[in-house]
Amino acid sequence: MNRRRVVITGLGAITPIGCGTENFWHGLMEGKSGVSLITRFDATNFKTKIGAEVSDFDPSDYDIKPKDLKRMDLFTQYGVAAARLAIKDSRLKLKAYNDEIGTMIGTGIGGLMTLESEKKKLVENKTPSKVSPFVVPMMMPNAVNAYVSILNKLTGTSPCVANACATGLYALIYACKDIAIGDFDVMVTGGSEAILTEIAASSFGNMRALSRRNDEPERACRPFDKDRDGFVIGEGAGVLILESLEHALARDARIYAEIVGYATNTDAYHITAPDPEARLVKKAIRDSLNMAGLKPEEVDYINAHGTSTPLNDKAEAIAIREIFGNYRVPVSSVKSMTGHLIGAAGAVEAIACVLAMENQIIPPNINYETPDPEIDLNIIDKPTPAKLNIVMNNSFGFGGHNAVMILKKYSG
């Protein structure tokens, strides 16, 4: 089968270090941390009291009507806003109905905020009459896809991906496949998440997955550092516009980058822990390189999954070290700044990769202070100008879901 070339023509980001790609990029270049004490709920009695909240979000800035707002969980609001930004950035001319455009915006968990707040109403009032009739459509994982499709009249496919922390990159890869095989010309794709809630913080905290560096929140997320002690829950959304190259050229679109390789697989090892030997992560990296027809030394930068947890960072480092050998490929994790955006992480980080190539600067891995002797990587800890033609993006999730994508700066 002749696969169509797939390119990226639009970007939309809602993140704890800035909303909109310009603000997001400035945050990355400033080495800005989006982590602070949690305000979403009273975290006084929690062992982890920090999170990465989106602080400058106003739904009215993204033309979300009050009627719709009352029927949207926060994760849906973020996803709709990011999609608005991406579509505007792409300069797509939408028609009354757009059969050739699909949506694929995933989430790791979905409307947990709505579920938690409405459950409290039921318990406190001791009557079901106080529960919103919109709870189900507000909490369902496909709500972002549904609203983005409805508000923009996108009548192509709209599946919802839910692969935990790898969701955003999985969505991009499967959207890319839909275009490559000719099913659709354009896909609006990415991930969205908003789970800074008591139940999520309790659960992640009790599994000892979260950092407890409460006295210095901005220094808490430190991927690959010897003193890392867990990830920081973040929130936000990343949406990208993917198009077939022919479609993009026909409408004279601005092309940011081309997707030239990707791979997905599953550890089949453990529901939350990574395979310590990283066998399938290595395979995903190799398979993506083979698809792209590239040698490891042709990769200019790796945007790592880098969660700041002891096990995940070590496993990812083992995989990178084995595949890339003596080639000291530059590596950084933007989670050091944004926190872990769960289902939105892979998509937001893909945007970071595109912007890095656009500006020819590697984003920093902040808070990298004490090298871990078990992690032998070339960690970039400050914004670093570099010739970036090929960039790899890694994303892994609970359940053993692995995704790797390779982007190339478009040159015709």
Quote the Cα angle for 150-155-160, to 5°: 75
Can you tell me the distance from the alpha carbon of 28 to that of 49, in angstroms, rounded to the nearest whole number? 24
Q: Residue 248 has which token pair?
A: 């993009």
Strands 35-37 and 384-385 come out as unpaired
Give the contacts of 247 (CB within 8 A, at least 6 positions apart): 185, 186, 253
Q: Is 401 a catalytic residue?
A: no
Strand ranges (E), 180-273: 186-193, 236-244, 257-266
Can you tell me the distance from the alpha carbon of 102 to that of 23, in angstroms, rounded to the nearest whole number? 27
Q: Residue 395 has which token pair?
A: 């994303």
Q: Given 165, 176, 221, 353, which residue is catalytic?
A: 165
Q: Are 12 and 21 in contact (CB under 8 A)?
A: yes
Closest of 6, 15, 147, 14 to residue 81, by C-alpha: 14
Can you tell me the distance from the alpha carbon of 143 to that of 131, in angstroms, rounded to the nearest whole number? 19
Q: Is 26 a catalytic residue?
A: no
Please tell me the total number of residues recorded for the chain in this structure. 412
Strands 18-19 and 6-15 come out as antiparallel
Q: Please give the positions annotated as active site.
A: 165, 305, 340
